[in-house]
Amino acid sequence: MRARIRWGLLGGGPGSLIGSVHRIAASMAGDYQLMGGVFSSGSATTQRAAQQWDLNEDRAYPSLDELIRAELARATHERMQVITIATPNHLHFDMARRLIECGFHLVCEKPITTTAEQARELARLLQSRRQVFAVAHTYTGYPMVRQMREMIAQNAIGPVQKIDVQYYQGWINPIIHDPSQWPKVWRLDPKLAGPSCCIGDIGVHAFNLVEYTTGLTVDRVLSDLDGLHPDNVLDVDATVLLRMSNGVRGVLRASQIATGEENRLHIAVYGRSGGLKWLQEEPNRLEWLREDQPIAVLKPGHAYDAPAAQAASKLPPGHPEGFIDAMGNLYRGVARAVRGEAVAAGDYPGIEDGVRGMCFLEAVLQSSREANRWVLL
């Protein structure tokens, strides 16, 4: 039996949704063993998490400084190998930079930094190192998203001529109308979230999905952002026109004030001879549209799926797989890379995807700020 990869977690303590997702996803295939980490800004909470998760409390560290010092003092075969950063955005860059310099492999929540230049600095640091850096663009782990990517690459719908992606949530709607609630939401605080709320949180996912599925590159954007409340400095709603490097047009819509919506991420890509449509809330269904033919519905777990989609399916047809399964596929790709095994393109988003996301975010903010003009990425 292969030894499990020794894994650490920054943030993601008790009560954290995304922390739970990472812990369960990393454990799914038996590739990782959680050794410890810094699970909260409060050392008592970190210790409590270690007790709750049955971890060695000596590796429930009060700070990143302590984690680095203690882990580097351990023998190589005992030291943490991969560390996940699941903290508020403002902490990502410094944590990632220091951990890269110390030789750890990383999985980082998005956006990976708060500026594009910081993201490029991380990329420069990694250029001369043999370290894995994965970005938690979870939606790329869904089997039918990988099927969509393969079909577009194989020209199943002909040359792409229109892209429409939408990511609508409604969870901020009741909060934004009550300023007394804003301090409870760190994503509305620019000191913690960085320069964006909606685009930084969910818009970058939609952007990443466009480039991941189509293989095309967004060249420029024209955006219109809204904070809804005059005293709110961060965006909670966005409409972005996309122009790809080959001239193809697209539109990206993201909102956290879409009243009543849950997590509606939907992408449609239309080509010369057909189209493909995928909805995250119904992730096992990929619609294939063709002229003069009925709509075909493709599902995971079947022999007709592309190899990448089959590899991402853990269950037989008809057994739903969801968000945590998709995250688990990213961790499986990282595990293969850490072990020096073959990794296929698209197995997990890398540092270049993190840099692209930050370039997109800054271009969108600039376009909206400068009277909705086209801005190059």
Q: Are residues 123 and 79 in the same domain?
A: yes
Q: Are residues 47 and 64 in the same domain?
A: yes
**Per the structure block, which two tokens stand in for 284?**
């096992």
Q: How many domains does the chain have?
A: 2
List the strands of the sheet with 32-38, edge to edge.
Answer: 32-38, 5-11, 82-86, 105-108, 133-135
Angstrom distances, CA of residue 208 to CA of 7, 92, 165, 215, 252: 26, 19, 10, 10, 11
**Per the structure block, which two tokens stand in for 223?**
């955006």
**87, 108, 138 - which closes a domain:** 138
The reported pTM is 0.96
Q: Are residues 70 and 147 in the same domain?
A: no
Structural domain that includes position 287: 142-316+351-376
- List all residues 6 or more positions away from 54 whose beta carbon is below 8 Å from its beta carbon: none
Full pLDDT tens readout for the chain, 377 residues:
689 999 999 999 988 899 999 999 999 989 999 999 999 988 888 999 999 999 999 999 999 999 999 999 999 999 999 999 999 999 999 999 999 999 999 999 999 999 999 999 999 999 989 999 999 999 999 999 999 999 999 999 999 999 999 999 999 999 999 999 999 999 999 999 999 999 999 999 999 999 999 999 999 999 999 999 999 999 999 999 999 999 999 999 999 999 999 999 999 999 999 999 999 999 999 999 999 899 999 999 999 999 999 999 999 999 988 999 999 999 999 999 999 999 999 999 999 999 999 999 999 999 999 999 999 99
**88, 115, 138 - which closes a domain:** 138
Which parts of 6-132 fold into alpha helices (H)? 17-27, 43-52, 64-73, 92-101, 116-127
Q: Are residues 132 and 268 in the same domain?
A: no
Element (H, E) at 357: helix 351-369
**Per the structure block, which two tokens stand in for 268?**
């449609």
What single DSSP character describes residue 283? T
Angstrom distances, CA of residue 190 to CA of 6, 8, 253: 34, 27, 22
Q: Are residues 273 and 129 in the same domain?
A: no
Q: What's 51's domain CATH number? A: 3.40.50.720
Q: How big is the chain by its Cα radius of gyration, in Å?
A: 21
CB-CB contact of 32 with 331 (8 Å): yes
